[in-house]
Amino acid sequence: RRGLAPRARLLSAAELRRYRGAPGEPGLYLALLGRVFDVERGRKHYGPGGAYSGLAGRDATRAFASGDFTPAGLVDDVSGLSPPELLSIHSWLSFYSDNYDPVGKLVGRFYDENGAPTKALREAEAAIEEALKFQAESEQRQQQFPPCNSEWSSAKGTRFWCSRHSGGVSRDWAGVPRKLYRPGSQGSRCVCVRSTGPPWGQPGSSQHSDRGDLDNPHLEQYDGCHPLAEQCVLTG
């Protein structure tokens, strides 16, 4: 991955506006979280007339998350963005770092006149770090409790079932359907629960009931269904 040069160039907003790729201008740059990249090799996208020309010559970090390419959306203010939107910014920053040459830093919201990170940048990076942590935890929960497959018909009611690929999560076990309740959230969702072996997070434990995660306190069995059946049909 390319990194910023030891003595990175510092640009003002006015200087950056000169790099929109128009005839007579010195180049084609854009900024993301205050980091400036030379996107000349992507001129067909970022140059005049390109689909993303609005990103050139400015820091429009918010637009990378919101998809709003109006003047109101082409700004660097990232306050109030959701975790998925912050993850989008993180992904785009990785993309530019991997595919375009870094030029320097934009003096303004994210870097001061000495090129040092501002409070706004530290807060944005902390929020992205939290979003990444939340994503990792969500992926872990998906592995522990993959969603059930389900179908409904007026004649047969609702059928839930588990397989080794249900919920789009490939694994070496099928599991049995259960209702999963999450603290602080209303309602439940159907998940597939491993019914043998040690509980999740205790792979090396020798003292367990060999019931997988069936004893997890956030789970509830479906009424009228066999406790170890891989499918459950609810009528009515």
What does the pLDDT look like over 56-67, one tens digit per residue? 999 999 999 999
Q: At 94, is the secondary structure helix, strand, or coil?
A: helix
Q: Reply yes or no on whether the pLDDT at 21 is more than 80.
A: yes
All structural domains of the chain: 9-139 (3.10.120.10), 145-234 (no CATH)
Q: At 193, is the secondary structure helix, strand, or coil?
A: strand
User: What is the per-residue pLDDT across 129-184, written as a single tens digit (0 to 9) for each?
Assistant: 999 988 887 777 788 899 999 998 888 889 999 999 998 889 999 999 999 997 76
Q: What is the spatial distance between Cα 182 and Cα 154, in angstroms, rounded to a whole number?
A: 29
Q: Provide the pLDDT for residue 229.
A: 92
**Structure confidence at residue 2 as a pLDDT band (50, 70, 90):** low
User: What is the per-residue pLDDT across 75-93, written as a single tens digit (0 to 9) for each?
Assistant: 999 999 998 999 999 999 9
